[in-house]
Amino acid sequence: MREVFADRYGSPEGAYLVQAPGRVNLMGDHIDYNGLSVLPMALQRHVSVLYRERDDTTVRIASTAKVYPTREFKLSRPIKPFKAGDWGNYAKAAAQGLLERFEVGRGFDAVVHSDIPVAAGLSSSSALVVAFALAVLHANDHEEVERLELAELLAEAEHYVGTRGGGMDQAICLAARRHSASRVDFNPLRLTAHPIPPEWNFVIAFSLVRAQKSGAARKTYNARTRESREALAQVTKALGVAEKIDSYPLLVARRRTRDLLKAAESALDETLLRRFRHVLTEAERVRKAEKALAAYDPRGFGRLMKESHESLRDDLDVSCPELDELVDTAARAGATGARLTGAGLGGCVVALCPQERTDKVLERLTKRFYENREFEGALEDQLFVAEPSGGAAVHPV
């Protein structure tokens, strides 16, 4: 990063380094945008931004990866997006969101480097948005901003790239605790950390199928958010409830899952029924998974992971053959449970492995999955053990 920086902008003297972690979600996928709680943890892999502030409003960004060309824009509203899918839009998303709320007069020259596999469901894009946002705030002396307030603002700001995502990724990226997973609640945003037992290993395996958040996967993702909202509207209408129920959290607080599913059977068509069932059962699995984690019950946790994968595959239709194969291979090799993680449609699986079986799982996945396939970069970038890490931070260099 220093070399690229020196090459483009001169000496990095007086520069700062922002590091924003990727994340793996252990339970609760495709429900955060419905306001339901989820259970992610931050990873030891980061998006890093080495930046030095400027006296004007120009932002210049370069990447250590050659596929991402240099980008430049000004911090003045409104910020017109680059064309759809351009990586520079993640920086613009952060900037546009912050400009709506804060006095921002100083831009920066920056170099970006990431060791989070891109478009792999480990939230490299939100980490990029968070890292840029922290650079903008730091360069403009706005360090007083609360982490959770910032997470909410950035979740909204990221819609700039076109995906109507929920708020999980920004929240865990900014407020994760080391050695822990966190239950993330929404409206208001809140995190409750739960230590991960040291003998539980979460293995992450990339399916080698990329799911670009700003590309094709966006359409399916946005369709799922629409379908789940539609299902909610139809079920509450069919229930004929007197009180106003306009959200999933209210619905599950007022009615039992079993009763809701019964009502849904006659109210919804086949597709919406499956979407609705995923949302409700996944929300319940988050509650149970949190308990299993607190009780150090790996078997219980693993069972829930298996059920979650089945639900994401069969009810939500967001798995793919490669993800199913990884889940299956991990389970056969002795993982306690495995599931796709994140938005799906490619990306990664996460497998819970007892310490004594972790090497075996890694070895089997390597042999059965990766040895027959071509991929860019090292095997350690596709297959690794997660280290539950802390949230994003700014350091002087």
Give the residue from 126, 102, 106 showing the smallest Cα distance to 114.
126
For 252, other C-beta atoms within 10 Å of its C-beta total 19
- CA 336 to CA 325: how far, in whole Å? 16
**Cβ distance to ligand GLA smaller for residue 30 or 177:** 30
Shortest distance, position 78 Cβ to ligand GLA, whole Å = 23
- CA 391 to CA 170: how far, in whole Å? 10
**Cβ distance to ligand GLA smaller for residue 9 or 33:** 33
**Cβ distance to ligand GLA smaller for residue 88 or 342:** 342
Shortest distance, position 272 Cβ to ligand GLA, whole Å = 19
Shortest distance, position 356 Cβ to ligand GLA, whole Å = 31
Shortest distance, position 166 Cβ to ligand GLA, whole Å = 3
Distinct helix (H) and strand (E) counts, the chain: 12, 12
Give the residue from 199, 220, 159, 158 showing the smallest Cα distance to 345.
220
Q: Is 169 a catalytic residue?
A: yes
Structure tokens at 9: 């902008």
CB 1 within 8 A of CB 19: no
**Cβ distance to ligand GLA smaller for residue 5 or 221:** 221
Q: State how far the alpha carbon of 46 is from the alpha carbons of 76, 187, 332, in Å.
A: 28, 27, 31
The active-site residue, picked from 29, 32, 169, 315, is 169
Structure tokens at 213: 């958040």
CB 302 within 8 A of CB 290: no
**Cβ distance to ligand GLA smaller for residue 134 or 316:** 316
Positions touching ligand GLA (CB under 6 A) are: 25, 29-30, 32-33, 123, 165-166, 168-169, 342-343
Relative orientation angle of helices 298-310 and 270-294, to the nearest 10 degrees: 170
Shortest distance, position 193 Cβ to ligand GLA, whole Å = 19
Q: Where are the beta strands (DSSP E) in the chain?
A: 16-27, 39-53, 58-63, 71-74, 108-114, 180-185, 190-195, 200-206, 337-341, 348-354, 383-385, 393-396
Shortest distance, position 169 Cβ to ligand GLA, whole Å = 5
DSSP code of residue 17: E
**Cβ distance to ligand GLA smaller for residue 134 or 283:** 283
Question: Which of the residues are catalytic?
Answer: 169
